Every structure is written in C-alpha cells, then in structure tokens.
Copies of this chain bind each other. A is one copy, B any other.
Amino acid sequence: MGWTRTTTQVLHRGPFVTLHRDDVVRPDGSPGVYEHVAVDDGVRIVALNGAGDVVLVEDDFYLPQRRMIHLPGGGTDGQDPHTAALRELEEETGLIADTLRPLGILDPLPSTTKARTHLFLATGLRPGRQARESTEVGMTVLRWPLGEAVEAVRASQITEATSVAALLLAHLAADPDA
C-alpha cells in the first residue's frame, strides 16, 4: 500500500531550501505529518585523465566548518544533469570533457529530500577557455591516482557520500573483476 498524501503546504520558501509539510497516511494506515525539504538536484563527476588520475577539489564547507575534498559537482540549477555536469566540471576545474558517461544515480538523504545526485564519468579532458584552475574562491584542484583517492575514502579523508560512492563505482568499473 505504501504512503499516501492527504494535503501539502509550504512552510517556508527560501533561496536554496523550501520546507514542505504534508499530511499523510502511513503504510500501517495511521495518519501522520511528514516534513521534508526541496533542494536542487546534484551532479558529481569522476574526471579521469589518460594516466588514470582523478580530479578532486577541496574547499571550505560552511556547515562542517572545515575544508572537504570531494569530486567536482554541484547543483543542476535547472539544467539537465549532463549539461550541469559539464558546466560544474569546467567552473571548478577549468577542464572540458569530450566524453561524459552516466555512472549512476543516488538518493543522498531520501527520508528528508527527494533531491537526487547524478553521477558521471568524464574522459577526454582538455583545458577549457577559462584557462584557469577554478572560478570558485578558495577552491583547490587536486589530481590523484584513482587508487589513492580510494585509499583516502577508506581512511575517511573523503566523506561526502556521493563522492565516496562515485569514486568506488569508478574504481569497480576500472577493474570489473575487483
């Protein structure tokens, strides 16, 4: 039977977060209230060069109050995920990808938001017109062998969930017998 929605209202509409409250009927038949947030869908890109290095970025995150290493990516900002991925890759790393293939779709926090994150594998990398490393203030671009990025995941140096999943998926794809 699953869940059904009786009514829905917007409690707050902000520039990045919209908060909804729905009246629902739970799977057990009881009435309930379900609050959830709408945020932009996301993209994350595993960009691999010919030497097998992956491009990572490091920047300041407000909520954890620390620098985090993660894959290039961000919100789709109303674009289709493929277009958004190419845009984010160039904005954050200065790179254009000749080939962009889907690597999967994730639900980062499906009890709280419908927002999904689209993963891509980018190859055929070349410098973009911007001819710089990053347009983001304080962002550092890193190039690590994919195996070292996987070790950083295992050591909890990379903790952003969609980057973790995408790096491990790319590692599996690079060695299907793994």
Contacts and interface: CB of A to CB of B under 8 A. Distances in A.
B12 A111 contact: no
A172 interface: yes
A159 B12 contact: no
B17 A36 contact: yes
Contact of A159 (B17, B21, B104, B160): B104
Interface residues of A, number: 62
Contacts of A34: 62
Interface of A: 1-3, 11-12, 14-17, 19, 21, 24, 26-28, 33-37, 39, 59-65, 67-68, 104-117, 137-138, 150, 153-154, 156, 159-162, 164-165, 168-169, 172-173, 175, 178
14 contacts: A3-B61, A36-B62, A61-B110, A62-B111, A105-B159, A106-B164, A107-B160, A109-B109, A109-B113, A150-B172, A153-B169, A165-B165, A168-B172, A175-B178
